[in-house]
């Protein structure tokens, strides 16, 4: 190969790299080294998963409720109700439900119905395993192991659980269990599940980081107007989880009211503005998914399901979340090293692309000079 031919080949390679780099910017959160493998290419790069409760009987609505569904005071055994929930959720851009479950005859029956409908509607399901009882005491480890084994054997092969290469199970209440207890469960099921913790701070996550596949923070009561380190806390947790190759499920809620369950905290919905801010804050923490709190937790008033008091307000916000109407929090610092935004990675990609383009231009100048000199020699 002549020197001129070699130079032509180099120019072609540089030009190809330049086009590829400018045309395909990096997206925050993508990493080929991340151990969980995304299986479902049909869902958004950052799925929206809503926490979903299947504990409702018609009598459940008589306790601790100040708002009610427009569908009426339903039972979670009602097939038509479940199907309407899925259809409404999909229309609002929700990719799936994170189903509250532990193995009982009634909850197993309801989960089976939901799986059937989710499979039929190409809708995703994850599990949030309720590791605490009604009094908030931890369940025996033997019970948890048995329930998760049952889930694996009976349900995990369904298409609804195929978001990743393994089904996602979030263990609610991990802060009440010792490291040895979590390790015992992890050793038994983690090769067949993506087992996520529900730790509420960085220290809690770090305590279990090597035993789990990530963390889902169920932060339903945060008030963006009064919590000064809100964005920073989510950023720190997301960065630490990604450093360990795990999944980070960031929380977002439309509001909160604990007065019906004995608390005093109230976070007003502000005509949907609270949900917009929380979605934006969650997205800025570089999540692998948004954990929307919740579809139908009416006792804490975090529900987005259409209701008598709020109508479809929350779902309207979700439908418009790509319309650039979500404001950045006032105290958000885009230079925070714990935060990686799409705009940051895109800017880096453009700079590299421009550098390669300049090299290509320089190579073209040399090439033309070489051609001219060759012609003169001829």
Residues 180 and 306 placed together within one structural domain of the fold: yes
Residues 271 and 362 placed together within one structural domain of the fold: no
Specify the pLDDT at position 360: 57
Q: What is the pLDDT along the chain (378 residues), one digit of tens a residue?
A: 544 444 444 444 444 434 334 333 333 333 334 468 877 767 778 999 999 999 999 999 999 999 999 999 999 999 999 999 999 999 999 999 999 999 999 999 999 999 999 999 999 999 999 999 999 999 999 999 999 999 999 999 999 999 999 999 999 999 999 999 999 999 999 999 999 999 999 999 999 999 999 999 999 999 999 999 999 999 999 999 999 999 999 999 999 999 999 999 999 999 999 999 999 999 999 999 999 999 999 999 999 999 999 999 999 999 986 433 333 333 323 233 333 333 344 344 444 455 555 665 565 555 555 545 544 444
Chain centroid to CA 331: how far? 23
39 belongs to a structural domain: no
Query: To which H or E segment does residue 194 belong?
Result: strand 194-196
Residues 351 and 334 placed together within one structural domain of the fold: no
Residues 294 and 368 placed together within one structural domain of the fold: no
In the block, tokens 């980070």 appear at 248
Q: Per the structure, how many domains does the chain have?
A: 2
Residues 139 and 177 placed together within one structural domain of the fold: yes
Residues 270 and 353 placed together within one structural domain of the fold: no
Residues 150 and 238 placed together within one structural domain of the fold: yes
194 belongs to a structural domain: yes
Residues 159 and 292 placed together within one structural domain of the fold: yes
Specify the pLDDT at position 373: 53
Judging by DSSP bridges, how do beta strands 266-267 and 256-257 pair with one another? antiparallel
40 belongs to a structural domain: no
Please give the Cα distance from 377 to 104 (Å, whole number).
Answer: 89
Specify the pLDDT at position 45: 85
Residues 233 and 302 placed together within one structural domain of the fold: yes
35 belongs to a structural domain: no
User: What residue numbers bound the domain in which 362 lies?
Assistant: 3-23+347-377
30 belongs to a structural domain: no
Residues 299 and 357 placed together within one structural domain of the fold: no
DSSP string computed for 29-87:
T--TT-SS-B--TTS-SS-EEEEE-----GGGGGSS-S--BTT-S--TT-HHHHHHHHH
Please give the Cα distance from 62 to 221 (Å, whole number).
Answer: 23
238 belongs to a structural domain: yes
The reported pTM is 0.77
Q: What is the CATH number of the domain that holds 149?
A: 3.20.20.80
Between helix 342-377 and helix 3-23 the angle, nearest 10°, is 160
Chain centroid to CA 142: how far? 29
DSSP state at residue 43: S
Specify the pLDDT at position 233: 98
DSSP state at residue 327: P
Residues 373 and 264 placed together within one structural domain of the fold: no
29 belongs to a structural domain: no
Kindly state the tokens that stand for 96: 């799936």
Specify the pLDDT at position 336: 34
41 belongs to a structural domain: no
In 3D space, the residue among 247, 225, 223 whose CA is nearest the CA of residue 237 turns out to be: 247
Specify the pLDDT at position 354: 55
Residues 96 and 113 placed together within one structural domain of the fold: yes
């Amino acid at each position: 190969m002549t020197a001129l031919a070699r130079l032509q080949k180099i120019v072609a390679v540089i030009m190809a790299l330049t086009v590829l780099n400018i045309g395909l910017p990096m997206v925050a959160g993508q990493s080929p080294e991340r151990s969980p493998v995304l299986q479902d290419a049909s869902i958004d790069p950052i799925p929206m998963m809503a926490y979903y409760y299947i504990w409702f009987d018609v009598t459940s609505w008589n306790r601790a409720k100040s708002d009610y569904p427009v569908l009426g005071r339903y039972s979670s055994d009602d097939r038509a109700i479940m199907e309407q929930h899925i259809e409404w959720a999909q229309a609002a851009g929700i990719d799936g439900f994170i189903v509250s479950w532990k193995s009982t005859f009634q909850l197993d029956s309801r989960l089976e119905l939901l799986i059937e409908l989710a499979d039929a509607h190409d809708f995703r399901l994850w599990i949030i395993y309720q590791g605490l009882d009604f009094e908030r005491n931890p369940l025996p480890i033997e019970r948890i192991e048995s329930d998760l084994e049952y889930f694996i054997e009976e349900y995990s092969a369904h298409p609804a659980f195929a978001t990743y290469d393994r089904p996602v199970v979030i263990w609610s209440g991990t802060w009440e269990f010792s490291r040895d207890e979590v390790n015992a469960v992890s050793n038994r099921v983690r090769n067949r599940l993506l087992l996520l913790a529900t730790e509420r701070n960085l220290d809690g996550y770090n305590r279990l980081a090597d035993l789990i596949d990530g963390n889902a923070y169920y932060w339903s009561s945060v008030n963006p107007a009064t919590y000064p380190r809100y964005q920073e806390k989510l950023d720190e947790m997301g960065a630490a989880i990604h450093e360990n190759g795990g999944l980070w499920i960031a929380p977002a809620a439309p509001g909160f009211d604990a007065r019906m369950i004995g608390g005093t905290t109230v976070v007003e919905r502000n005509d949907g503005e609270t949900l917009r801010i929380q979605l934006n804050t969650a997205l800025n923490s570089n999540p692998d998914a948004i954990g929307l709190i919740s579809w139908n937790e009416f006792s804490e008033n975090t529900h987005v399901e259409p209701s008598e008091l709020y109508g479809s307000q929350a779902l309207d916000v979700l439908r418009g979340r790509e319309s650039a109407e979500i404001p950045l929090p006032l105290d958000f610092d885009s230079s925070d090293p714990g935060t990686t935004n799409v705009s940051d990675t895109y800017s880096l990609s453009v700079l590299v692309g421009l550098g390669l383009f300049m090299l290509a231009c320089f190579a073209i100048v040399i090439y033309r000079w070489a051609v001219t000199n060759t012609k003169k020699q001829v």
